[in-house]
């Protein structure tokens, strides 16, 4: 008698090792939120930065995670003063960017867009352009080191303007100037409540006139009005977080789902949502992985992507984010592929490159993983 395997192999729960080896795409990761704890300690020592709460790398890593675990975005953001504080020289920026690309490649990421706010790195005397050039140099160096270790990654930069400041147009112009040299788009970040995206309308209008791309942190600490402004006033291509779109979705007792006008628009127009589950648990935007809106949004086929936000503060990696989601929602390799293809479709690099990444890198990578059961 022949025995047949009844379970579709791709429907099995992926192991942590498979998750790590799966080709992944990351669209929302802050350069100043992803330093290795040891690097923060090293750079502080080298530059004479005295404000660190701990000097031992392990203790420092724990400190960042715990301090960021505050339940409020404002308190979460306070921890960045220490990472930004040690990223004020060319060498520090090159090192942090190179290690970032290396770490992402080691985690199985094949394409990443990493963001940072150039205006926050001028205290040591660097100019905005020098900051961008140092970070770009670091990314290229990290890509090279990854290649030497048998890994392949491409990293693009997103330039962020801080929403409480008034330099958005200047930073948008900077992003436009470097668009063919490693910078793929623009973003605004920082405390959301009290700083609506329309404050920076001039920057967004400028980028639209230049046919350039941008994402906006919206719907994280503040709700639907922020998402609505980001899309309908500012014209964002993607939403950073966007979790609060859930406020415009009603699920009835019998399971029927009703989308409001804004949620319908987001789904109909395939607006990419850059979701960052662990970060949301820390800032209070969601209570647990199982209750995170990503579960429902994925079932409703919103264009959901999975991201890290701040690997240091959230003690995470993209693989870990997927592990949490696999635990909460029993996602399979098919789901992971769906998230990765969604992210690649939503990237800011040209269409032909996105398509080649999907067809020549991502899909073959998942096919390879899905075939492993045949040889066990
Ligand atoms: O989740 C977030 N929401 C809003 N702002 C953030 C988040 N994570 C980091 N930053 C802010 O973005 C700056 C540039 O990278 C960081 O310095 C931090 O202030
Ligand atoms: Zn963010």
Express each pLDDT in 182-224 by its tens digit.
Answer: 999 999 999 888 899 999 999 999 999 999 999 999 998 889 9
- % of residues, the chain, pLDDT over 70: 97
Residue 129 has which token pair?
A: 């352009």
pLDDT of residue 192: 86
Q: Which ligand 1 atom lies nearest to the CA of residue 220?
A: 3
Question: What spacing in Å lies between the alpha carbon of 8 and ligand 1's midpoint?
Answer: 41
Q: Is 30 annotated as a binding residue?
A: yes
Scan for tokens 């939120």, then name that residue.
33
pLDDT at 1: 54
Q: What pLDDT was estimated at residue 75? A: 86
- Binding residue per annotation — 309? yes
Nearest to 24, CA basis, from 271, 356, 348, 358? 358
DSSP secondary structure of 310-366? -TTTTT--HHHHHHHHHHHH---HHHHHHHHHHHHHT-SS-HHHHHHIIIIIIHHHH
Q: Check whether 5 has a pLDDT greater than 80.
A: no
Residue nearest to atom 12 of ligand 1 (CA): 189
CATH class label, 9-375 = alpha beta
- Annotated binding-site residue? 217: yes
Neighbours of 16 (CB within 10 A): 12
H or E element in which residue 306 lies: strand 304-306
Q: Give the rounded percent of residues in the chain with a pLDDT score beyond 90.
A: 91
33 C-alpha vs ligand 2 centroid, how far in Å? 9
Please give the Cα distance from 288 to 282 (Å, whole number): 10
Residues contacting residue 84 through CB under 8 Å, at least 6 positions apart: 32, 120, 121
Out of 99, 192, 220, 274, the active site residue is 220
**Mean pLDDT for all residues in the chain:** 95
Please choose, from the candidates 324, 228, 321, the residue with its C-alpha nearest in 3D space to the C-alpha of residue 271: 228
pLDDT value at position 376? 81
Q: Report the relative pairing of strands 183-189 and 154-162 from DSSP bridges.
A: parallel
Three-state SS at 70: coil
What are the pocket residues of ligand 1 if the criterion is a CB atom closer than 6 Å to any ligand atom?
30, 32-33, 73, 77, 80, 84, 115-117, 120, 160, 189-190, 217, 220, 279, 309-310
User: Mean pLDDT throughout 139-157?
Assistant: 98
220 included as an active-site residue: yes
- ipTM entry: 0.99
- Rounded CA gap, 325 and 319, in Å? 10
Q: Give the residue, by CA position, lying nearest to ligand 1 atom 11.
A: 190
Question: Mean pLDDT across the stretch 69-93?
Answer: 94
In this prediction, residue 9 carries a pLDDT of 60
**Count of other CB atoms within 10 angstroms of residue 226:** 25
The least confident of 33-37, 285-289, 356-360 is 285-289
Q: Minimum mean pLDDT among 80-84, 102-106, 269-273, 285-289: which range?
A: 285-289
pLDDT of residue 10: 60
- 354: which 2 tokens? 């996105």
Closest listed residue to residue 189, CA positions, set 156, 214, 206, 155 = 214
Q: Identify which of 40, 217, 283, 307 to mutate to test ligand 1's pocket (most ligand atoms within 8 A of the CB).
A: 217
What tokens appear for 116 in the block?
């940072």
d(CA 25, CA 112): 6
Task: Determine the 3-state secondary structure of 251 from DSSP.
Answer: strand
Q: Is 32 annotated as a binding residue?
A: yes
The pLDDT-based confidence of 74 (bands split at 50, 70, 90) is confident
pLDDT at 7 exceeding the cut of 90: no
Residues 274-300 have a mean pLDDT of 96
Q: How far is the CA of 70 from the centre of ligand 1 (A)?
A: 15
H-helix or E-strand containing 258?
strand 257-259
Q: Which atom of ligand 1 is closest in space to residue 84's alpha carbon?
A: 17
pTM value is 0.97
For range 36-53, the mean pLDDT: 96
> What is the DSSP annotation of 109-173?
EEEEEEEE-GGGG-TTS--HHHHHHHHHHHHHHHHHHHHHTT---EEEEEEEEETTSS-HHHHHH
Q: For residues 210 and 190, is the Cβ–Cβ distance under 8 A?
A: no
pLDDT at 3 > cutoff 70: no
pLDDT value, residue 118: 98
Instruction: Report how far ligand 2's centroid is from the alpha carbon of 217 (Å).
Output: 7
DSSP assignment, residue 14?
A: P
If one residue of 28, 190, 241 were mutated to test the ligand 1 pocket, choosing by the most ligand atoms within 8 A of its CB, it would be 190
Q: Is the pLDDT of residue 2 over 70?
A: no
First to last CA, the chain: 21
**Ligand 1: nearest atom to the Cα of 192:** 4
> Which value, to the nearest 10 degrees, does the dihedral of the CA atoms of residues 192, 197, 200, 201 take?
180
User: Known binder of ligand: residue 241?
Assistant: no
Could you state, in order of their start, the residue ranges of all structural domains in the chain?
9-375
């Amino acid at each position: 008698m022949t025995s047949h395997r009844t379970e579709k192999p791709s429907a099995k729960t992926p192991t942590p090792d498979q998750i790590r080896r799966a080709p992944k795409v990351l669209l929302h990761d802050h350069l100043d939120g992803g330093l290795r704890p040891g690097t923060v300690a090293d750079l502080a020592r080298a530059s004479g930065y005295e404000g660190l709460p701990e000097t031992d790398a392990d203790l420092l890593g724990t400190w960042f995670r715990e301090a960021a675990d505050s339940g409020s975005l404002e308190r979460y953001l306070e921890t960045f003063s220490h990472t930004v504080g040690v990223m004020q020289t060319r060498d520090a920026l090159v090192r942090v960017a190179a290690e970032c690309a290396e770490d992402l490649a080691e985690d199985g990421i094949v394409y990443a867009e990493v963001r940072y706010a150039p205006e926050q790195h001028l205290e040591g005397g660097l100019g905005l352009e020098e900051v961008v050039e140092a970070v770009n140099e670091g990314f290229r160096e990290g890509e090279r080191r990854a290649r030497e270790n048998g890994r392949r990654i491409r990293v693009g930069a997103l330039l962020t303007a801080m929403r409480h400041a008034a330099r958005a147009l200047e930073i948008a112009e900077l992003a436009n100037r470097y668009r063919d040299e490693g910078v793929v788009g623009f973003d605004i970040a920082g405390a959301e409540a009290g700083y609506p995206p329309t404050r920076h309308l001039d920057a967004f209008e400028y980028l639209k006139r230049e046919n350039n791309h941008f994402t906006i942190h919206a719907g994280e600490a503040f709700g639907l009005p922020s998402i609505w402004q980001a899309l309908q006033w500012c014209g964002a291509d993607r939403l950073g977080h966007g979790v609060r779109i859930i406020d415009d979705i009603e699920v009835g007792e019998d399971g029927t789902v009703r989308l409001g006008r804004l949620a319908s628009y987001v789904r109909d127009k395939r607006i990419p949502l850059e979701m960052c589950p662990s970060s949301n648990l820390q800032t209070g935007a969601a209570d647990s992985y199982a209750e995170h809106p990503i579960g429902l949004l994925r079932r409703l086929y919103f264009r959901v992507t999975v991201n890290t936000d701040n690997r240091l503060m959230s003690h995470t990696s993209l693989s870990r984010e997927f592990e949490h989601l696999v635990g909460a929602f029993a996602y399979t390799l098919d789901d992971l592929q769906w998230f990765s293809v969604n992210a690649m479709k939503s990237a800011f690099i040209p269409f032909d490159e996105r398509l080649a990444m999907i067809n020549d890198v991502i899909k073959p990578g998942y096919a390879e993983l899905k075939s492993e059961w045949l040889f066990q």
